[in-house]
């Protein structure tokens, strides 16, 4: 094992041995190399005459660039747009995102968390989690309504086994009973379990209530107290898009921290959906655990391992994207801009609910509960989802996503409010076409 990795492991073990034991075999081996990058950083600080370290080109001490490229980038200097970012991410953005996290999650007050490490959006962040914390044959617990890419990330790439529980009970609420049964049955067979908590949920657009969140936390904390290592991964891709009063308005990540030394929370979030910058691919990975007095050193060790995983995969996320997100967050109009877009999304969600309250749709489908995010799902009663999807696309030019035999996902995020009625009337007509 590399001496740097060994030193990081010792730091983690000194603060919380359970966190070290949860690392995958790869995670235990990971480290951030003290090689070209660290030498280059030292030279950047001290080399006042010539700096011939980093693989970038300069002219008269400034970043070399093509004017045709920079002419399309307004408000940023070439060094902010074109240079390599650190594998950890640029420090001002990491600090700004952490500060915003505390503002958006009041339950974090008084708690210690790591400094976020920048990822190439949340999919990359989940892939890093998979490398660092998942070994072949580990179990990942998810609801039956889930984002399909989890299978590629955790099962195909890492050989983990996905185990499901039904997301909803007969009342249309989070199925805490089945969740409890599922995690406890898996805990009987293994020392470590991993749980993915994705709210707002993709594909259903459901977010738990505060009481449902407390129930989830209590189940996981109880398992930890009884000796199971619990790694709770919160996929907060659609964070902030909460449309109803009864939904939890913060990440369940905040409630998981400090519950027990055997419970580690990992938060994946990003500007991707929160700031409506999908193609910029800026995400974050943040750790929350019960640590001793040297907790800051332990978080630094986890950040170094995470940056090592970034370095060994994509090297770093794009500096241009990070700079754009940071500049936007610092803008005086930023809060007002976000609120305006939120209100548009909320109006669309409420229009969907209003339209679907019409009794004419009830023979064709049931609507899964939704209160947040980008999506909602229909549970078809009389026809199958995939033939209906193809028929709607070929006959009416309407594109939807079929999930399994009976579920149809509708992304109201890309449907204007005034078009919602026509969309669902067209779907209903498609059902009638297939029925006849």
Asked whether residue 43 carries a pLDDT value surpassing 70, the answer given is no
pLDDT classification of 436: cutoffs 50, 70, 90: confident
Q: What's the mean pLDDT in 41-61?
A: 76
Q: Is the domain of 209 the same as that of 267? A: yes
Whole-number percent of the chain with pLDDT over 90: 91
Q: What's the mean pLDDT in 31-50?
A: 72
**Number of domains the chain is built from:** 2
Q: Is the domain of 124 the same as that of 106? A: yes
Q: What's the mean pLDDT in 132-156?
A: 96
Rounded to the nearest 5 degrees, what angle is found at the Cα of 208, between the Cα atoms of 279 and 137? 70
Asked whether residue 52 carries a pLDDT value surpassing 80, the answer given is no
User: How far apart are the C-alpha atoms of 153 and 198, rounded to whole Å?
Assistant: 15
User: How far apart are the C-alpha atoms of 135 and 55, rounded to whole Å?
Assistant: 35
Last residue of a domain, one of 329, 354, 373: 329
Q: Is the domain of 316 the same as that of 352? A: no
Is 49 inside any structural domain? Answer: no
Asked whether residue 68 carries a pLDDT value surpassing 80, the answer given is yes
**Comparing 141-145, 291-295, 389-393, 419-423, which segment has the lowest mean pLDDT?**
291-295
Asked whether residue 83 carries a pLDDT value surpassing 70, the answer given is yes
Q: Is the domain of 362 the same as that of 300? A: no
Contact 379, 406 (CB under 8 A): yes
Say what the pLDDT of residue 35 is.
67
Say what the pLDDT of residue 387 is.
98
Average pLDDT across the chain, whole number: 95
CATH number (domain holding residue 323): 3.40.640.10
Q: Is the domain of 341 the same as that of 322? A: no
- Tokens 């938060």, residue? 267
Half-sphere exposure at residue 354, Cβ-oriented, CA atoms within 13 angstroms: 11
Q: Is the domain of 121 the same as that of 262? A: yes
CATH number (domain holding residue 375): 3.90.1150.10
Asked whether residue 101 carries a pLDDT value surpassing 80, the answer given is yes
Q: Is the domain of 322 the same as that of 341? A: no
pLDDT classification of 74: cutoffs 50, 70, 90: confident
User: How far apart are the C-alpha atoms of 330 and 6, rounded to whole Å?
Assistant: 39
Is 65 inside any structural domain? Answer: no
Which residues constitute the domain of residue 358?
335-435
Q: Is the domain of 312 the same as that of 409? A: no
Say what the pLDDT of residue 227 is.
96
Whole-number percent of the chain with pLDDT over 70: 97
Asked whether residue 37 carries a pLDDT value surpassing 80, the answer given is no
pLDDT in tens, 347-373: 999 999 999 999 999 999 999 999 999
pLDDT in tens, 212-232: 999 999 999 999 999 999 999
User: How far apart are the C-alpha atoms of 237 and 251, rounded to whole Å?
Assistant: 11
Say what the pLDDT of residue 53 is.
77
Say what the pLDDT of residue 38 is.
64
User: How far apart are the C-alpha atoms of 170 and 223, rounded to whole Å?
Assistant: 26
Last residue of a domain, one of 306, 329, 352: 329
Half-sphere exposure at residue 391, Cβ-oriented, CA atoms within 13 angstroms: 17
Residue that wins the pLDDT comparison between 38 and 220: 220
Is 203 inside any structural domain? Answer: yes
Asked whether residue 253 carries a pLDDT value surpassing 90, the answer given is yes
Is 43 inside any structural domain? Answer: no
Is 47 inside any structural domain? Answer: no
Say what the pLDDT of residue 131 is.
96
Token pair, residue 210, equals: 């505060």
Q: What is the DSSP letter of 237?
A: T
| Phi and psi, residue 286, nearest 5° | -135, 140
Angstrom distances, CA of residue 171 to CA of 167, 175, 368, 369, 375: 11, 9, 11, 10, 20
Is 308 inside any structural domain? Answer: yes
Is 389 inside any structural domain? Answer: yes
pLDDT in tens, 254-299: 999 999 999 999 999 999 999 999 999 999 999 999 987 778 999 9
Say what the pLDDT of residue 293 is.
75
Quote the distance between the C-alpha of residue 435 and its chain's center.
Answer: 39
């Amino acid at each position: 094992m590399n001496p740097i990795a060994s030193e990081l492991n010792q730091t983690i073990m000194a603060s919380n041995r359970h966190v070290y034991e949860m690392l995958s075999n790869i995670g235990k081996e990971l480290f951030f190399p003290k090689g070209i990058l660290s030498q280059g950083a030292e030279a950047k600080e001290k080399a006042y005459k010539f700096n011939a370290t980093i693989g970038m080109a300069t002219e008269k001490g400034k970043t070399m660039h093509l004017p045709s490229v920079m002419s399309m980038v307004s408000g940023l200097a070439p060094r902010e747009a074109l240079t390599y970012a650190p594998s950890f991410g640029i420090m001002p953005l990491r600090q700004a995102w952490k500060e915003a996290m505390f503002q958006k999650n009041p339950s974090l007050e008084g708690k210690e968390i790591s400094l976020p490490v920048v990822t190439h959006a949340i999919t990359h962040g989940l892939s890093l989690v998979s490398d660092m914390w998942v070994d072949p044959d580990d179990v990942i617990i998810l609801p039956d309504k889930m984002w399909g890419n989890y299978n590629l990330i955790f099962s195909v790439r890492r050989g983990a086994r996905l185990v499901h529980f039904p997301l909803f009970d007969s009342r249309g609420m989070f199925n805490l009973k089945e969740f409890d049964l599922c995690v406890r049955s898996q805990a009987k067979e293994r020392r470590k379990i991993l749980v993915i908590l994705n709210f707002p949920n993709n594909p259903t657009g459901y977010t738990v209530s505060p009481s449902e969140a407390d129930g989830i936390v209590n189940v996981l904390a109880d398992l930890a107290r009884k000796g199971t290592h619990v790694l709770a991964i919160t996929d907060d891709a659609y964070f902030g898009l909460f449309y109803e009063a009864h939904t939890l308005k913060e990440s369940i990540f905040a409630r998981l921290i400090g519950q027990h030394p055997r419970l580690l929370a990992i938060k994946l979030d990003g500007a991707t959906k929160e700031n409506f910058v999908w193609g910029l691919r800026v995400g974050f990975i943040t750790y929350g655990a019960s640590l001793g007095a040297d907790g800051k050193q332990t978080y630094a060790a986890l950040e170094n391992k995470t940056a090592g995983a970034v370095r060994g995969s994509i090297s770093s996320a794009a500096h241009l994207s990070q700079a754009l997100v940071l500049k936007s967050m610092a803008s005086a109009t930023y809060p007002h801009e976000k609120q305006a877009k939120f209100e548009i999304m909320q109006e669309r969600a409420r229009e969907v609910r209003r339209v679907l309250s019409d009794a004419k749709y009830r023979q064709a489908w049931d609507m899964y509960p939704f209160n947040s995010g980008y999506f909602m799902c229909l549970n078809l009663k009389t026809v199958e989802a995939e033939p209906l999807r193809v028929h709607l696309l070929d006959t009416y030019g309407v594109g939807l996503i079929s999930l399994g035999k009976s579920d149809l996902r509708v992304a109201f995020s890309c449907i204007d409010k005034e078009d919602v009625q026509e969309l669902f009337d067209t779907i209903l007509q498609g059902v009638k076409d297939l029925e006849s």
